[in-house]
Amino acid sequence: MKVWVKRIALGILALALIYAVGRFIDVYLGSFYSGERAPYLMMPAPHAMTLRWQTLEPGRGRVRFGRTAGKLDQQLTETSVAEEHELRLQKLEPATRYYYQIENQPAGKPEKIIYSGKDYWFVTPPRSGQAAPVRFAVLGDPGKAGVVQTEVRDALLDWLKKNPRPRRLQPDLDLLLTTGDNAYRSGSNKQFQQGFFSPYERILKNVPVWPVYGNHDARRWAFFDIFSFPTQAESGGLASNAEHYYSFDYANVHFIMLDTQAGSMKVGSDMLDWLKRDLAATRQDWIVAAFHHPPYSHGSHNSDEHRDSGGRMTRVRENVLPMLEAAGADLVLSGHSHMYERSYLLRCHYADSDNLQENMLLDKTSGRETPYKKPGRDAYSGTVYTVIGSSAKTNDGSLDHPAMAVSLAEAGSVLVDIDNQIMTVRFITQQGRVVDQFSIQKTAGRGQAIPCS
């Protein structure tokens, strides 16, 4: 080999090494954040709640809590000094409101109260399996700070204020879910603060959050450090022994959270093996699944393009959906495509859109005036698929997927109400208008479960 060829090869190798080292340093440093982070709630259970926050000055954190704001008669203290704080309050009563106060004691300094007052509270879930009213909001790809994000948030809060449930404090939510991409553009810890924790602070201090892992979250290492997930079924469901996928229960609803970004969706993978066992184990009336990549979308991403997003949308459709539908899943939430799309009541469509057959659409009504009806938890009795990726920005797309009953290039959020055997889903725009609404009603008895051919 000539000397000049060797020199070029060594030069390219050196540049690649410099880039790799620089990339590692950038990713590593981007996973840290120094500053205050207001309280946020995670991993709710009938008898427990996890409370997290961050302080500028390292200290030993303490949480005082009780059933009335003026009588915080219980407390829990950290065993070590830190800037990032996490305490799991336990031995709580189900379906009960607790008020809390957070204190910090830096080394060698007096203890001081940093969060306190009647606005700091949470409500524990009802007992698992109990048919209690459930209300949760879904923010789709919410982590881009700006006017769209602010208006979508305020429109949701305003709708909740105007449509409260009896005897509920604002914000009137039991849970907050996301569909991923919680921090743009690179998922750094600082961007999480700017694009997620600060904008949604007044919700997160009262409402437990369950965020999905998106492709922008995966560009740094912060996500799994700043969120707490139930690897051992701490919030119900079947233990996954993994932070990337898990399930939880709330009242009579079973939630499944999958990682379609870094998780393997090959048949026989750990995640899909766990999914099969989890679905077989649950006895809940409702099943809701959430993950980032949509199985059906003609928005800013095209689910018919097998190379789009590394083929993840295709693998979701081919390998995940058959398992969910066989278990009678009711609602699937996804993001990634920056618009709002909502399917008909659908079954057995695991290929590209041009292979959609009429008999796969179980009900072509809108679901608004007349609810979609499902017989209990029958296999292949129909699932509604939503794409909600427009809580912080919208993009262009053809919006013509034939499985979709509604396709809108509008920013907004989704609100879901479940009351015993009826689920109602609303899409609320950034102007506060409900431009799509549908219901699913569980009927008595069992239907005829017809497997996919």
What is the model's pLDDT at position 19?
41
pLDDT tier, 225 (very low <50, low <70, confident <90, very high otherwise): very high
Query: Average pLDDT in the 94-110 region?
Result: 94
What is the model's pLDDT at position 445?
67
Query: Average pLDDT in the 117-135 region?
Result: 97
Sorted by sequence, the CB contacts under 8 Å of residue 412 that are 6+ apart come out as 152, 155, 340, 388, 390, 391, 427, 428, 429, 430, 435
Query: In the chain, pLDDT over 90 holds for what percent of residues?
Result: 85
Round to whole Å and give the CA distance between 49 and 406. Answer: 37
Helix (H) or strand (E) holding 10: helix 3-30
Token pair for 147: 């006017």
What is the model's pLDDT at position 32?
59
Percent helix / strand / coil, the chain, rounded to 5? 20, 30, 45
Query: Average pLDDT in the 423-443 region?
Result: 96
Dihedral angle sign, alpha carbons of residues 37, 43, 47, 48? negative
Amino acid identity for residue 345 in this structure: L
Contact 393, 144 (CB under 8 A): yes
Q: What is the DSSP string of 376-431?
A: TT-TTS-BEEEEE--SS---------TTEEEEE---EEEEEEEETTEEEEEEEETT
How far, CA to CA in Å, does 64 sit from each of 110, 124, 134, 147, 403? 17, 16, 27, 36, 51
Token pair for 216: 């922008």
Instruction: Using DSSP bridges, classify how beta strands 286-290 and 253-257 pair: parallel, antiparallel or unpaired.
Output: parallel
Rg (CA), the chain: 23
Establish whether the linkage from the previous residue to 185 is cis, with ω within 30° of 0: yes
**Where does residue 105 rank: exposed (0-12), middle (13-18), buried (19+ CB within 10 A)?**
middle
Q: Which residues pair with 103 in a beta bridge?
A: 62, 113
| pLDDT above 50 for 21 | no
What is the model's pLDDT at position 368?
73
Which of 1-15, 254-268, 352-366: highest mean pLDDT?
254-268
Round to whole Å and give the CA distance between 174 and 207. Answer: 6
| pLDDT above 70 for 8 | no
What is the model's pLDDT at position 451?
83
pLDDT tier, 20 (very low <50, low <70, confident <90, very high otherwise): very low
Query: Average pLDDT in the 73-90 region?
Result: 97
Helices then strands (H, E): number in the chain?
Answer: 8, 23
Contact 401, 353 (CB under 8 A): yes
Query: Average pLDDT in the 229-256 region?
Result: 98
pLDDT tier, 453 (very low <50, low <70, confident <90, very high otherwise): confident
Say which DSSP state 444 is in. Answer: S
Query: Average pLDDT in the 180-198 region?
Result: 96
| pLDDT above 60 for 14 | no
Q: Which residues pair with 428 in a beta bridge?
A: 413, 434
Amino acid identity for residue 290 in this structure: A
| pLDDT above 70 for 87 | yes
pLDDT tier, 2 (very low <50, low <70, confident <90, very high otherwise): low
What is the model's pLDDT at position 393?
97
Q: Which residues pair with 76 in a beta bridge?
A: 63
- Please tell me the pTM assigned to this model: 0.94
pLDDT mean across residues, the chain:
92
Query: Average pLDDT in the 240-245 region?
Result: 98
φ and ψ at residue 286, rounded to 5 degrees: -125, 145
pLDDT tier, 60 (very low <50, low <70, confident <90, very high otherwise): very high
Other Cβ atoms closer than 10 A to 2: 7
What is the model's pLDDT at position 34?
80
Lowest mean pLDDT among 144-153, 318-327, 373-382, 383-392: 373-382
Residue spans of alpha helices (H) in 166-269 = 189-192, 201-204, 223-226
More confident residue, 289 or 32: 289
Query: Average pLDDT in the 222-233 region?
Result: 97
